[in-house]
């Protein structure tokens, strides 16, 4: 296993997966990439109402020539925050090891599988929150979707 991918949502189970992947990489002489996916569609859905409300407030309180509408773009601040958290996760590893970090935008399970395919990943090691069958039926599971779609082995780790 030369290339191990660890998707992270910065949860305790993702930290456990990172620790496991780091051990595997040390034993096999492999390299770990820590990937965070910004679920941009969900963010856009949540912020659409806020942008519309902000625009309406500007239009009502300002002359028309002063109200050009520019929707806010939440992605850049999220990218910076995600990169900082990725760097912190890598720095917290004991013993320390060098690893790559990456950020993608989109549906998490789709982006994890796509990243693995594009970058020659040999194994995906990811955390799971351990929902039961009923929870998965209603909420879905990133880990379940990755297991079903990935072309490489997937190891699932609980905290």
| Domain CATH code at residue 128 | 3.40.50.620
Q: State the average pLDDT over residues 129-140.
A: 54
38 - beta bridge partners?
Answer: 105
Full-prediction pTM beyond 0.75? yes
Least confident range of 48-62, 90-104, 142-156: 48-62
Which of 32, 10, 9 is closest to 21 using CA atoms? 32
Q: State the average pLDDT over residues 2-27.
A: 94
User: Does residue 118 sit in the same domain as residue 99?
Assistant: yes
Count how many domains the chain has.
2
User: Does residue 31 sit in the same domain as residue 67?
Assistant: no
pLDDT number for residue 139:
43
Q: State the average pLDDT over residues 131-135.
A: 54
User: Does residue 31 sit in the same domain as residue 82?
Assistant: yes
- Tokens (6 digits) for 65: 């020539």
- Residue reference for tokens 């079903």: 148
User: Does residue 47 sit in the same domain as residue 84?
Assistant: no
User: Does residue 22 sit in the same domain as residue 81?
Assistant: yes
User: Does residue 34 sit in the same domain as residue 58?
Assistant: no
130/27 Cα distance (integer angstroms): 27
User: Does residue 28 sit in the same domain as residue 47?
Assistant: no
56-103 pLDDT, tens digit per residue, is 555 555 555 554 544 555 678 889 999 999 999 999 888 878 899 999
Q: State the average pLDDT over residues 130-158.
A: 77
- Residue reference for tokens 């991918």: 5
Residue 1 has pLDDT above 90, yes or no: no
Asked whether 34 and 84 are in contact (CB, 8 A), the reply is: no
13/2 Cα distance (integer angstroms): 23
User: Does residue 50 sit in the same domain as residue 115?
Assistant: no
39-48 pLDDT, tens digit per residue, is 876 555 555 5
The mean pLDDT value of the chain amounts to 81
- Tokens (6 digits) for 114: 């796509």
User: Does residue 28 sit in the same domain as residue 97?
Assistant: yes
The share of the chain scoring above pLDDT 70, in percent, equals 72
User: Does residue 135 sit in the same domain as residue 61?
Assistant: no
- Higher-pLDDT residue of 139 and 145 is 145
Q: Which domain holds residue 141?
A: 3-39+75-157
User: Does residue 110 sit in the same domain as residue 149?
Assistant: yes
Q: What is the DSSP string of 72-112?
A: ---HHHHHHHHHHHHHHHHHT-SS----EEEEEES-HHHHH
């Amino acid at each position: 296993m030369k290339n191990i991918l660890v998707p992270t949502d910065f949860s305790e189970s993702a930290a456990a997966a990172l620790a496991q992947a780091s051990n595997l990489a040390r034993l096999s002489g492999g390299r770990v990439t820590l990937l965070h996916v910004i679920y941009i569609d969900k963010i856009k859905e949540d912020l659409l109402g806020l942008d519309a409300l902000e625009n309406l407030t500007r239009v009502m309180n300002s002359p028309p020539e002063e109200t050009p509408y520019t929707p806010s773009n939440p992605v850049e601040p999220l990218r910076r925050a995600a990169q900082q958290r990725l760097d912190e996760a890598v720095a917290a590893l004991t013993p320390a090891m060098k690893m790559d970090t990456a950020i993608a935008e989109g549906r998490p399970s789709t982006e994890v599988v796509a990243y693995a395919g594009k970058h020659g990943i040999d194994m995906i090691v990811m955390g799971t929150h351990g929902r039961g069958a009923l929870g998965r039926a209603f909420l879905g599971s990133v880990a379940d979707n990755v297991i079903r779609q990935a072309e490489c082995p997937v190891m699932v780790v609980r905290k």
